[in-house]
Structure 1
């Protein structure tokens, strides 16, 4: 092989240089430090120069463990190179030589690689040189976590109180923690601010740092913002991370106590529900808040007081007291509550008043109130007057009645009271309606009503035109009296209603006219049969004719004239359906009579009646009147209508 052949040559050259006393010059240049983030690949460069050139140069790399001798990790000779076995870097390093630059690459560096590395350059002569570089590995810490104290802090504490703690983990080199309050850094100040820190080296070699802040709090710290800032290093720079912001609860004594009406908003009236609220500008936990009514000593240990259905006596001064139970210090505040009222309306004169007709009526209405009132007068829900006084210069019977006085408070909705006054006007009675009243009826019983106004309440008497007194039921009304009489009537009659009191009387006349329904009366007769002539039977409303059949052959025809049935005068007390029903019955009866006459005539022709064996002649004898009488009766219901046909009366010799 070529390499063994050149070995003697190199040895010979070395002896030659030694014999002549000529030594090669070797120089090494390296950086003081190389910075790299953990997990990355570090590259350490070794720059060297030599007079012999690269053919006979040996390159060796060493690292210096803490407190130990240096250890070689890589060796490169002219004929051979390799990483040393069983070192921290055996499987992670490689060497790249480019001219006079030897670059050692260390993969996946960690904080344990934060060591000093040595590059040694040797030539064929005994001359050698070395350089040193410090490898610095950086690891960014985790995001800082901050915790505030859960309990509040009293301003009365003499020693500084713990505010919170801040922690950051797994950084390299060791990170630094600084506390801030409202963007201002906090430094250790005796008896005011104390910052303590502790550092933990993890098994990985990384640093975890915890810092705790204690300080003496003041009232102005109740809204303060606290946070911690972590400063850590990266290759060629310094970085900062800020934690979340926290607040603390500061307990401090109040300097002012406020009490106010929460509801109702605006003015308060009797019957409302009153709610009072109390608060202070302190924030002390060991305390008692009491609301008290000074007028009644009514109190509650709460920040809220509720009183339902308040009265005017519930008004006055309400005081809220704050008591600190540790040192028994007190502070209080107060407010004045006004409860508006409206008493019941009072009318003078009370309940009722009586005045003579034509005299002046005067009444007044008042209601005691804490606010301005408005008064109105009503009669039958109609406004009749405004103001406290009701005045009528000349009273009439129409003036009488029930008056209502309504008092309201315009400023507050819902404040209203009222009272009533009965006004009576003394005078002779007046009867409602005309003096003469016409009454038409189909009924046999009639009800009459008579209403009279007047004061004193009039007495109502009923009499008829023939001097009879009628018993009636009388009731008093708001402005007089009313009487109802019920009696039977058989003919037209006049009835008088007489209303009287101490000041006179009044009479009203009722003219009652009876309208009777007409009913057809049954006439038991057979029609006269004649073979030669036909007779006409006329129905009148005022004649009843009884006839017997004759033995003549005369054919009798029943005729109903238009004036046979008299239609009665229509009364408003009778329904139209009653009259129509009667007419329908009459038409049906006539139709049945016609059928009966036809049947009898047919039987007569056939010889089935009157013992006829053949054709017989009958003499006709006409009665003085051949009429059918219709009689109608009025009895609240439609009665059956009976029809009868009368024949002519026969002479004795014809029978």
Structure 2
């Protein structure tokens, strides 16, 4: 026995042993050992002395277990090589055990198929190193198999297991099958797509790939310079109708110089020959009709859609009928050809529809209220095709604006007396005819002149009323006799001296004479309203 420490009262004295510096004693006199190793697996004795009463002791056994690290080293080789992998467990205690597994299933020794070679080494530290090598017969099917080892060990009476990582064994085998795929394979191809031809072989190492395309008279065009011969991929960018055809992939196994091949048909869908016919082909007169026909060629079914210059849909089908055409009708139409079975495959063609006719005036500035000597703008707008020109029957400064089929003319002119009375005429003409419109000018009175006219009318009414009262008064006095007819024209020069002639003149303008009306409410001409009066006897 070797004494490790001595405790007197509260003082602990360590002896010079391998445990010095790793021991500690608690208040309950419990002994603790730090950094335990396998060499510490032994029996420890606790002795207690009580002077004349004697001594007592007790023993405890310390067992030390070691975690077993497992290291797996895979091996590679041909299918005839048997060494698969090596598993090593170092510094284990007690002695661990190693087992082998393939794809999760435990392997058992089998003659000419599975064999284990195991070595066990006890190190100077007392720990064990265990090495196990797996030998097995592998086939082509083992190219994706995963192998691993498991180390089984004991700790505190329990059996524990530690697994290594999974490894794959490289297996070499000749090529037996070749496949050629078109990618993407889930959609129908169309012009403009990018396509990959992928050639796959089941040999390891992979064979050397070459590509070719069949031409006329069974000749084959070599496409290998465009492909990656190591990965077996041929990229075709922006394919067209001419890209369609039969493609071949050849795989050459360099181990046995055996060559296998596979072919695939590449179909690129397209739309070509889109054209639109117009009946009649000559320009259409306004109010006429036209028929548009659209046609195209494709290996798949097609739909036809029509739209105008603003993109609005106007019809469906390969024919479009347009009736009662006007200048405002769209000048162009588009036929869009769509292949419903091939997403994204479509083509378009535009056609111009020219509607011609004599000009049609759509807007003029009439009636226009003006003042004499005022400078005004006269406006005339029209639509026509072929292009028209605008002429005025009065002199002035004209400015024309032409946009597509529309033409507008602004005439700057000073209002004269003649222009105010006669107005102006806008004439728009082209090769097919002319149209003209008259612009009426109306005199616009000032507020001051209207006030003077109203005052004059009121004064005239008052004068007539006063004169009527005077005549009535003179009649009552017998100063004014009556003839047999009961009335007499007082404006005649030959009237007698005892007759009173009343001459009422008005300064009203001709257009305002309507304020004076006859007995029945009808308007009377100025000559009947001014300078006459009738006196009746009772």
Q: Same fold (TM over 0.5)?
A: yes
Summarize the alignment of residues 375-386 of structure 1 with structure 2, pairs less than 5 Å apart: 375-378=305-308, 381-386=311-316
CA positional deviation for 1:376: 1.5
Residue in 1 that maps onto 2:414: 488
Summarize the alignment of residues 49-68 of structure 1 with structure 2, pairs less than 5 Å apart: none
Q: Kindly tell me: are residues 346 and 444 of structure 1, through their superposed partners in 2, closer, same or farther at Cα, counting changes over 3 Å?
A: farther
Contact 2:86 2:133 (8 Å CA) reproduced: yes
Residue in 2 that maps onto 1:284: 204
Rounded to whole Å, the distance in 2 between the matches of 1:143 and 1:228 is 12
Match of 1:505 among 434, 456, 473: 434
1:341 aligns with 2:270: yes
Q: Kindly tell me: are residues 345 and 200 of structure 1, through their superposed partners in 2, closer, same or farther at Cα, counting changes over 3 Å?
A: same
Match of 1:422 among 349, 353, 356: 353
Contact 2:358 2:434 (8 Å CA) reproduced: yes
CA positional deviation for 1:509: 0.7
Summarize the alignment of residues 104-253 of structure 1 with structure 2, pairs less than 5 Å apart: 142-143=67-68, 145-149=70-74, 152-155=76-79, 158-167=80-89, 169-171=91-93, 177-181=98-102, 182-187=104-109, 189-190=111-112, 192-228=113-149, 241=161, 243-244=163-164, 246-251=166-171, 252-253=173-174
Contact 2:306 2:336 (8 Å CA) reproduced: yes
CA positional deviation for 1:354: 1.3
CA positional deviation for 1:450: 2.9
Q: 5+ unaligned residues in a row in structure 2: which ranges?
A: 1-38, 48-57, 216-220, 456-538
Residue in 1 that maps onto 2:366: 437
Residue in 1 that maps onto 2:227: 300
Contact 2:153 2:160 (8 Å CA) reproduced: yes
CA positional deviation for 1:261: 4.7
Summarize the alignment of residues 249-648 of structure 1 with structure 2, pairs less than 5 Å apart: 249-251=169-171, 252-263=173-184, 266-272=187-193, 274-276=194-196, 278=198, 280=200, 282=202, 284-285=204-205, 287-289=207-209, 297-298=222-223, 299-301=226-228, 302=231, 304-343=233-272, 345-349=274-278, 353-356=282-285, 360-371=289-300, 372-378=302-308, 381-392=311-322, 395-398=324-327, 401-409=330-338, 411=340, 412-413=343-344, 415-425=346-356, 427-433=357-363, 437-441=366-370, 444-464=374-394, 472=398, 477-479=403-405, 481-491=407-417, 492=420, 494-513=423-442, 515=444, 563=452
Residue in 2 that maps onto 1:19: none
Q: Kindly tell me: are residues 445 and 368 of structure 1, through their superposed partners in 2, closer, same or farther at Cα, counting changes over 3 Å?
A: farther
Contact 1:367 1:407 (8 Å CA) reproduced: no
Contact 1:264 1:275 (8 Å CA) reproduced: no
Number of residue pairs the alignment of both structures matches: 390
Q: 5+ unaligned residues in a row in structure 1: which ranges?
A: 1-36, 42-90, 95-104, 111-138, 519-539, 543-561, 567-655
Q: Kindly tell me: are residues 205 and 359 of structure 1, through their superposed partners in 2, closer, same or farther at Cα, counting changes over 3 Å?
A: closer
Q: Cα deviation per residue 1:107-161 (whole Å; 9 max; x = unaligned)?
A: 7699xxxxxxxxxxxxxxxxxxxxxxxxxxxx86752514132x65443xx3323
Q: Please tell me the root mean square deviation across aligned C-alpha atoms, in Å.
A: 4.7
Task: Using structure 1 for the length normalisation, give the TM-score.
Answer: 0.49
Rounded to whole Å, the distance in 2 between the matches of 1:291 and 1:201 is 61
Rounded to whole Å, the distance in 2 between the matches of 1:509 and 1:234 is 119
Q: Cα deviation per residue 1:39-96 (whole Å; 9 max; x = unaligned)?
A: 354xxxxxxxxxxxxxxxxxxxxxxxxxxxxxxxxxxxxxxxxxxxxxxxxx9899xx
Q: Kindly tell me: are residues 485 and 307 of structure 1, through their superposed partners in 2, closer, same or farther at Cα, counting changes over 3 Å?
A: farther
Contact 2:276 2:349 (8 Å CA) reproduced: no
Contact 1:347 1:365 (8 Å CA) reproduced: yes
Rounded to whole Å, the distance in 2 between the matches of 1:264 and 1:516 is 86
Most deviating of 411-420 and 285-294: 285-294
Rounded to whole Å, the distance in 2 between the matches of 1:233 and 1:457 is 107
- Name which one, 1 or 2, has greater alpha-carbon Rg: 1
CA positional deviation for 1:499: 2.6
Q: Kindly tell me: are residues 471 and 161 of structure 1, through their superposed partners in 2, closer, same or farther at Cα, counting changes over 3 Å?
A: same
Residue in 2 that maps onto 1:642: none
CA positional deviation for 1:432: 1.4
Q: What secondary structure does 1:220 align onto?
A: helix
CA positional deviation for 1:506: 1.8
Rounded to whole Å, the distance in 2 between the matches of 1:275 and 1:399 is 47
